[in-house]
Amino acid sequence: MPAEFEKALPILQKIRNSGYEAYFVGGSVRDVLLNRHIHDVDIATSAYPAETKQIFEHTIDIGIEHGTVLVLENGGEYEVTTFRTEDVYVDYRRPSHVNFVRQLSEDLLRRDFTINAFALADDGNVIDLHGGLVDLEAQVLRAVGNPSERFNEDALRIMRGLRFAAVLNFDLESKTFASMKEHANLLSKISIERIFIELDKLLTADFWQKGFRELLAIEAYPYLPGFTDKTALAHLLALPAGFKFTNSVQSWGYLAYQLGYRDGKFLLKKWKVSRDFSTAVSKFLSAYDKRLKGDFSSEDLYNLGKSSLTLVEEMFAAQNLETNFEHISVLDVQLQIRTRKDIAVSAGQIMTEFGIQPGPQIGQLFHQIELEIVKGQLQNTPQEIFNYVKGYHKHGDND
């Protein structure tokens, strides 16, 4: 067992010593079997929430209505959830009610895919009731039980399936694929924030091309904001096999560019992303547009940031276009300031020194100083800036 499971073993054993069943479940078990790094350690138990709270001294009710108690033990935090079944789902996402049960088999039946429906006992025994081990070996994603029921219950599972295909490089089993395609329209019922999380993980995965190809194949794209143009979306798949996006800004920026957006804010507003992320994507798009017209300038680096320029240059490299990473590095070394705050004197100091009154004039002058420093035509020292202002005034008096 990996160290994360070893550390959590006393939790399982304490529950079992109290007369209940307890197992590691979910994606962490799958990742252990695939020798992948695990993230969260999830524990399922036959103990009801109140019984779990009696076993452990320190607990927090984080989702007790759904059977989950956070156990604080041995310097760690562990989500312990009661075996459960789920009633009729509402909004194609959430069960109207959960029923706590004592049988592990009933709990595993409600899982999404067979490779996520394992349980691991404290003795290392893997409980596989749905053929997940065979599917792991065959690298296949198969819905648990009836796929139509699984996607009707929770349509987000469609996006999760596409994400797993991209992360694990697994193929969609034929009935699962057909059912995902049949129910793709239900994605319009799911909150866009949750869909964004899944699609973002897909785009930044090692095998994103597989996941994205399947997204197009099941015809899910018309139900995603701004994704109506299949031909434009398919342009992403023209990137070299094995190409990986550096980060989310690059993937969404390039996606937006292929969809014809020159400012990402309009598209990303529909996806309800953070303002910072939207701004970063818009800077990428501006940089991409400028790079198509020629080499980057010092002003581009200052206004858009080195990261934006580098991400664009990487996309040029991926498309076998001419690149000049060294040019970006040279611009970066030569740049004297990163923000206005780095200017050696303030607007207030200039006003005091030259008796300039508040108003548009000082704003225009300070902007001009900023621009000259960025271009490298003015040294960022108080003396040089004051000399520049004297010349600026003198030139202004002659006009």
Q: How many of the other CB atoms lie within 10 Å of CB of 20?
A: 18
Q: Which residue, among 337, 340, 332, 343, has the nearest Cα to 388 in the 3D structure?
A: 343
Q: Which residue, among 340, 326, 324, has the nearest Cα to 373 in the 3D structure?
A: 340
The pLDDT-based confidence of 179 (bands split at 50, 70, 90) is very high
Q: Which residue, among 79, 85, 82, 106, has the nearest Cα to 97 in the 3D structure?
A: 85
Is 107 annotated for ligand binding? no
Half-sphere exposure of 354 (CA within 13 A, CB side): 23
Is 40 annotated for ligand binding? yes
Is 102 annotated for ligand binding? no
Q: What is the pLDDT of residues 63-90, one digit of tens each?
A: 888 889 999 988 889 999 999 887 555 5
Domain that holds residue 262: 229-335
In the predicted structure, residue 269 carries a pLDDT above the cut 60: yes
Which of 29-43, 84-98, 361-375 is predicted least confidently? 84-98
Q: What is the pLDDT of residues 233-267, one digit of tens each?
A: 999 999 999 999 999 999 999 999 999 998 889 99
CATH number, domain containing residue 195: 1.10.110.30
Stated pTM of the model: 0.89
Q: What is the pLDDT of residues 104-126, one digit of tens each?
A: 999 998 899 999 999 999 999 99
Position 397 scores a pLDDT of: 47
Q: Which residue, among 145, 149, 214, has the nearest Cα to 186 in the 3D structure?
A: 149
Is 110 annotated for ligand binding? no
Give the pair of three-digit tokens for residue 7: 């550390």
Is 112 annotated for ligand binding? no
Give the pair of three-digit tokens for residue 154: 């929770």
Structural domains in the chain (count): 4
Is 42 annotated for ligand binding? yes
Q: Which residue, among 35, 34, 197, has the nearest Cα to 115 in the 3D structure?
A: 34
Q: Are 323 and 317 in contact (CB under 8 A)?
A: yes
Q: What is the mean pLDDT of the chain?
A: 92
262 lies in the same domain as 348: no
Give the pair of three-digit tokens for residue 257: 């560019």
The pLDDT-based confidence of 396 (bands split at 50, 70, 90) is low
48 lies in the same domain as 84: yes
Last residue of a domain, one of 335, 359, 379: 335
Q: What is the pLDDT of residues 274-283, one digit of tens each?
A: 999 999 999 9
Percent of the chain with pLDDT over 90: 82
CATH number, domain containing residue 258: 1.20.58
Is 200 annotated for ligand binding? no
Q: Are 100 and 48 in contact (CB under 8 A)?
A: yes
CATH number, domain containing residue 4: 3.30.460.10
Last residue of a domain, one of 335, 356, 389: 335
Position 91 scores a pLDDT of: 58
15 lies in the same domain as 113: yes
Q: Are 80 and 43 in contact (CB under 8 A)?
A: yes
CATH number, domain containing residue 391: 1.10.246
In the predicted structure, residue 96 carries a pLDDT above the cut 60: no
Is 275 annotated for ligand binding? no
| Alpha-carbon distances, residue 28 vs 19, 118, 302, 367 (angstroms) | 25, 9, 43, 54
Is 111 annotated for ligand binding? yes
Position 236 scores a pLDDT of: 95
Q: Which residue, among 27, 60, 64, 21, has the nearest Cα to 42 in the 3D structure?
A: 27
162 lies in the same domain as 262: no
128 lies in the same domain as 144: no
22 lies in the same domain as 52: yes
Residue 82, by phi and psi: left (phi above 0), alpha (psi -120 to 50) or beta? beta
Last residue of a domain, one of 335, 361, 389: 335
